[in-house]
Amino acid sequence: MSANPEAVLNAELDIETVRADFPILHQEVNGRTLAYLDNAASAQRPRQVIDAVSHYYSSDHANVHRGVHTLSQRATDAFEGARAKVRRFINAGSDKEIVWTRGTTEAINLVAQSWGRTHLGEGDEVLITWLEHHANIVPWQIVCEQTGARLVVTPMDDTGQIRLDEFERLLGPKTRMVALGHVSNALGTVNPVRDVVAMAKARDVPVLLDGAQAVPHMAVDVQDLDCDFYAFSGHKMFGPTGIGVLYGRESMLAEMPPWQGGGDMILAVSFDGTVYNELPWKFEAGTPNIAGAVGLGAAVDYLDGIGMSNIANREASLLAHATRVLEEVPGLRIIGTAPGKAAVISFILEGIHPHDIGTIVDHEGIAIRTGHHCAMPIMEHFGVPATARASFAFYNTEEEADRLAQALLKVREMFA
């Protein structure tokens, strides 16, 4: 699909054209056409991203920010050009606010270590929610251990929505940071991040949003959200693995110390001391994932070409269809039933272990994820060890959802 935002704005997506962009989807798995319904774990890449990475390695590769030679300049232009694309995509105010990381996990660890170790002390509180991925729990637990701060958790209700009344109550004089997911990977709940940010801002508490499951599926505007940090991963938004982004408000990043030392994050080094580089390079020690950044820039172009509102609309109708057909499977219970969910359906089948479900549907060529989805507290809340999870992208079809429902009927027959 060519990048032409006006032509496709609010258009019905031509699914066959879109699917033609994704070579991996056109294969048989276990003798059946692949139905890839594990997009929340990692989405697939369009040809445009694969070509951009291949072109970079075939024509432009050298180290960045280090050479006067032509290839190094080309690599630097491609690398910094990708940063500018990401900045525009999430409407950050400046390229200085876009820090490359390995992914969401590293972005959150960066904030926990750099910001957390300098701002948290004995008795301070970090307020998260029950819906977090482990990547937005464990880094805070680590920094709490290091500083004597305490992790406070906002409960959720049985539909999988955070209790805003409880959040407001727990947001107290000792809260130093609020950190929560924009969209839950395990349930699909879209959290009321605007309300949360407004409440936190009223008390001058900074907010970090884990956007790993939001950026691929909806338009995200960090200035409009008014958050201080926003973390996301390239591989979930149709870009390469090993590249991700930390957006940080410039005033926050400016006063944070580096969290890793080495090449590229310095202006001058002597044995008497080091002068750190400017933003954002202060946080990018060592040779970065240049090809990953280039590929992520191409993924942003691709998403822009389709239009995020078209993607959100398409996925909403896919979710409605898939929910309807899965609910017809006897004994199936959907875990996470918040209104306005993202296109994620976590479910259990009475009396059948999710891993068995995953293995059997794989024989039908259908890829879903089973397990705790790196969100063990959510499983604990619902009293289940694991769920099966189908997670959709704009290139999925109603027919694939129907195939999943039919495969689940077979699973039930096998265990009858």
- Bridge partners of 178, per DSSP, are 127, 207
Do 334 and 347 form a contact (C-beta atoms < 8 A)? yes
Cβ closer to ligand C6P: 215 or 253?
215
Q: Which residues contact 337 (CB under 8 A, 6 or more apart)?
A: 159, 160
- 233 is an interface residue for ligand C6P by CB under 6 A: yes
Q: Select the span of 67-75, 192-200, 205-213, 303-311 touching ligand C6P (CB under 6 A).
A: 205-213
CB of 378 to ligand C6P, least distance (A): 11
Name which position in 40, 177, 178, 332 contacts ligand C6P (CB under 6 A): 40
Single-letter code of the amino acid located at 151: L
Amino acid at 140: W
Could you tell me the smallest distance in angstroms from the CB atom of residue 200 to ligand C6P? 19
Q: How many residues bind ligand C6P (CB under 6 A)?
A: 16
Kindly list the catalytic residues: 374
Using DSSP bridges, classify how beta strands 344-349 and 369-371 pair: parallel, antiparallel or unpaired.
unpaired
Residue 376 near ligand C6P by CB under 6 A: no
- 212, 215, 265, 332: residue in contact with ligand C6P (rule CB under 6 A): 212
103 interacts with ligand C6P by CB under 6 A:
yes
Per-residue contact string for residues 264-283; x = within reach of ligand C6P by CB under 6 A:
--------------------
Kindly tell me which of 4 and 359 has the beta carbon lying closer to ligand C6P.
Answer: 359
Segment contacting ligand C6P (CB under 6 A): 49-57, 98-106, 114-122, 302-310? 98-106
What are 84's two structure tokens?
A: 């500018």
Stretch that binds ligand C6P, among 73-81, 208-216, 253-261, 293-301 (CB under 6 A): 208-216
Whichever of 138 and 266 has its CB closer to ligand C6P, that residue is 138
Phi/psi of residue 86, nearest 5 degrees? -65, -40
Residue 210 interacting with ligand C6P (CB under 6 A): yes
Q: Which two tokens stand for residue 67?
A: 């050479």
Least distance in Å: CB of 140 to ligand C6P? 13
Q: Contact positions toward ligand C6P, by CB under 6 A? A: 40-41, 103-105, 133, 135, 181, 185, 210, 212-213, 233, 369, 373-374
